[in-house]
Structure 1
Amino acid sequence: MRRFRLSTLSLSAICLFLLAAVMPAFAAAPTVGSQAPDFHLQDQKGDWHTLETHKGQWLVLYFYPKDFTSGCTTEVCTFRDDIAKLHKAGATVLGVSVDDVKSHSEFAAKYHVPFPLLADSEKKTATSYDVLANHLGMQYARRETFLIDPTGKIVKIYKDVDPEKNSGQVLADLDAMKAGKA
């Protein structure tokens, strides 16, 4: 009888341990109106960025799968080409992928990227924004964009992003929100 109790107690402890280990994976995905999850990531120049660093301004936080791939190159170049319009609208742009700082540095240099590309190589930010995906054993950030207001609240989430149209969609929505039409 005593042996059964020890086994049941041990099994319960193991189950609780495993449950605690996997619970972060089931954390609620950020939604429109919720506080944007914080982050602490380095950009291609080695500078650190947090959500708090960008508080008080509109923030376009866009996730993309991989440096130097066709869709990601299209998207970064579209944001690059629209950066003056985005700044005029009061927005800061940050790109995020799970690539490292060195890869971002080379990618930014090749395509003359004038905004920070954040390295989420530990995949914590992609996980907290619920954009981490797996395919054939490879983990990457899904192509999604979060428009965050100056108080740090998410006001728009773009899923299944078209890399050619994302920047224009963000600009149109930002203008509408600032004009009180959205």
Structure 2
Amino acid sequence: TEACHFRDDFKVLTSLGAKVIGVSIDDSFSHKKFAEKYNLPFPLLSDTSGEVASRYGALNNFLFIKLAKRYTFLISPQGKIAKIYLNVDTSKHSQEIIEDLKLLK
């Protein structure tokens, strides 16, 4: 999974100053199970209302169903969005983030 690639590259990401946080519209119980199953060293935040996803333009509403898009936001130390990744190859995405973090240094 994409999360596993971020787990595997976690030390490199944090050595470059990154804080890795996963956010989805799933509930906290499913996040806890997922994090334990894959031994994730970073937090998974639950956005069941979809408010965060909506503010970042990552939420689709289909009648009564909410679907979050798989987006990544690289946020600078100043709190500004430095880059938005809309279409990612999940098998290479953490490496892409590492390269972009190096460019921000």
Could you tell me which runs of 5 or more consecutive residues in structure 1 were left unpaired when the two chains were aligned.
1-73
- Aligned residue pairs total 105
Which of these residues, 146, 162, 172, is aligned with residue 89 of structure 2?
Answer: 162
SS at match of 1:92: coil
Structure whose CA Rg is larger: 1
Q: Is the 8 A contact 1:97 1:140 kept in 2?
A: no
Which of these residues, 57, 61, 68, is aligned with residue 130 of structure 1?
Answer: 57
Aligned to 1:153: 80
1:87 aligns with 2:10: no
Q: Is the 8 A contact 1:126 1:132 kept in 2?
A: yes
What's the offset of the Cα at 1:162? 1.5
1:177 aligns with 2:80: no
What's the offset of the Cα at 1:176? 1.3
TM-score, scaled relative to structure 1: 0.55
Q: Which amino acid aligns with 1:171?
A: I
Instruction: Report the identity percentage.
Output: 50
Could you tell me which runs of 5 or more consecutive residues in structure 2 were left unpaired when the two chains were aligned.
none
SS at match of 1:93: coil
TM-score, scaled relative to structure 2: 0.94
